Chains A and B, each alone.
Chain A
Amino acid sequence: MTPVLEVKHLHIALPSEGDRRHAVSAVNFTVGRGEIVCLVGESGSGKSVIAQSVMGLLPKSLPVSDGRILLEGEDITHAPLSRLRELRATRMSMIFQEPMTALNPVMRCGEQIDEVLRAHTKLSESERKKKIIAMIEEVSLPDPERMFRAFPHQLSGGQRQRIMIAMALVLEPVLLIADEPTTALDVTTQAQILHLISELQRKHGTGVLFITHDFGVVAEIADRVAVLRLGDLVEIGPKDALLMRPQHDYTKMLIAAVPGIHPKSKARQADAPVVLQVSGLDKRYGGQGWFNAKHQEVHAAKSVSFTIRKGETLGIVGESGSGKSTVARCVVRLIDPSAGSIDLEGNDLARLSGAKLRALRKRVQIVFQDPYRSLNPRRTVGETIMEGPMNFGLSREEAARRARSLMAWVRMDASVLNRYPHQFSGGQRQRISIARALAMEPELLIADEAVSALDVSVQAQVLELLEEIRQRLNLAMLFITHDLRVAAQVCDDIVVMSKGEVVEYGPALEVFNAPKHAYTKSLFAAAPGRDFPFHQAASAS
């Protein structure tokens, strides 16, 4: 049987000023009927470029310089735009990563799906509407009539992605290209969408090319997997074979870098002194001003309490809107809590202000999520690290000395201190942020989704670094994350938050292996690839 998609010896060139000549080189793979093929890779691997090239959506600056793309046997590599338009949505469809921005905000959802039908069929208005309503029901959206008339901003992220899927599948194409469709969604929503995609795919026999960077997702839904690195296809094979017995070094490295979802037991000091004790922390927003109805008040954190001891890591796990970031920012006093106490070795941070607060700031430090915005682009990296200690009385020479020794700690060369942030990669910038935090010699280090924006391999390095630092300095750490695997790897205790409340709190081993609260259970049930024995695979090879 002709495969739905064949990509043969594909080369896509990059504009000449770049440091690479090709975005994609010599890539070969096929997608068969009813098969899900995952393209896995880190940033710069070219997976998105390949996906867009199939649809013909690449800009002129990224031309296909060699190779062929065949859709159901037809060569569409250099097909004219008119032919591509005919094929789009009818034979091949694509869904994208950001459901928030992938839909036209000023057009109703039903009308956006209708556009597909009007462009490619000759159905009457009532026939079209019937088909659309049926499709909306098929993607498990309640109240299809309301969804039809709704505007995108009235829907949640998960609902919008379902509308996208409806739009993509309404004309039953043979190929669906999904470019990281669940990356921007919460874990529980992600699980639902993955489930929906595989269900629809099975029902209609659609071939799916699924782009992702998350091996958990690969383990969950793939039939076959292709691994990409910097435009090269390094390995391809059936899922089980590739994940359990990877052949190429790069694949082995990637899979080894995936944290297991089961925490290992670690030695703990039972009587370590308490560094941070949070009791009844509460934060409310809004509710004032003219024309602001009272119900617009947001209760971001409700009565949160936990304890962190010296040398321990506490993880706060939750989805977006759970309040975990709010808690972190209250502890580091970037925002003021509405109520509650934050006891740092005897001082209540929540009550202090002014000079007294500033004096205590050095004891609690934070590393942020976005490496590209965490460093002032107009200051050298050295200046950034030295700023903190100099605020507290160190002279320039002393601060410079400390900065140099810290660079060794974060495994970077001290000579780069006079460079600017734009000269570093994401992972390197995170290390610099860590060095900045450590320059203050804090008792408590907060990592607010500090590895979420990094590639898997870089993430593994940074996590390893943090662990090393924590051990050497016997630091207490507060680790905020939405990624359960990372939490399992790093944390001693876990707090699970949902909608501002703590729903579960206990040692990681207990919470992961025997969750008590319904929400925690659903969270774990939703983690993609949770049943896949990644760590056994890693140790076997």
Chain B
Amino acid sequence: MQTSMKRAGRAAGALALLASLSAFSGPAPATTAYITNEKGNSISVIDLDKLEVTRTVKVGQRPRGIALTKDEALMFVCLGDDDTIAIIDTKTLKEVGELPSGPDPEQLRVSADGKFVFVANENDALLTAIDIATRKVVSEFPVGVEPEGVAVSPDDSIVVNTSETTSMAHLIDWRNKKVLANILVAPRPRYAEYNKDGSELWVTSEVGGTVSIIDPVKHVVAQKITFDVPGLAKELIQPVGIRFSSDGKLAFIAMGPANRVAVIDAATKQVLKYLLVGQRVWQLELTPDGKYLLTTNGVSNDVSVVDVAALKVIKSIPVGSFPWGVAISKQ
């Protein structure tokens, strides 16, 4: 039994190799999504014209957070169990270096100007800023226990970090390099995202089960969104990833083991709809044309594709084991 499984694995590897070879000889590449597979220790590459996986590449251990550089030449992948961030060339999909992350990196964010990447450093309760050109740490800011989510305001003026055990959003003045405010939110804040014009900062609390909408000028929680899915235990409502539609009118919230994405009217903050996706939905990303929303579904090992105009799930794409993060190239 074991031998035959090994053989099957080897055959699959050979097929993947063939697939990767053909990818090189094909026509100009379509828009591409990169999915980190937390347990599979790999990245699934999705062709967004065909909506299918064209390649799977091995990376280090426990890949989760993923981000592209502004020019899309490189991507950064947090490798939690290797205690590093791999730098991967998006053309060759080969590792070309690493960033100084500190232990167990999970999430990261590239500044809007493309010059810096911000990473939460769990062991030392610090938010670390790394200069992408020199690959060196340029600043650290003391934050709460178990720093996790990272967001950057659209104008790069404010960097945000959420700390899971401290249950705070830490707002950092990036120009003057100082902590501006530490705002208490519901337990285990896992992800932060500015709305399109930067007037609101949305923070999901995985254990609290809510979304806090922070006024980034007044430094207060201005509003709280709660969820109620009929027939679902309230403990299963665990909001994580956040994305806004291209026109900024809708917000999408990944709801973890509730297996749903909540669609929220960004103006009224009303929940419009719950979209049933795969199991344990972690992160979200929109295609550059704003047409599709991709969701990573950790337990069901697939990516759901949501048609944003119709607000319907139109496809599920099988990927590697325990998909977690997603990044999409513009070209």
A and B found bound together: no
Chain B residues close to A by CB (< 8 Å):
none
Chain A residues close to B by CB (< 8 Å):
none
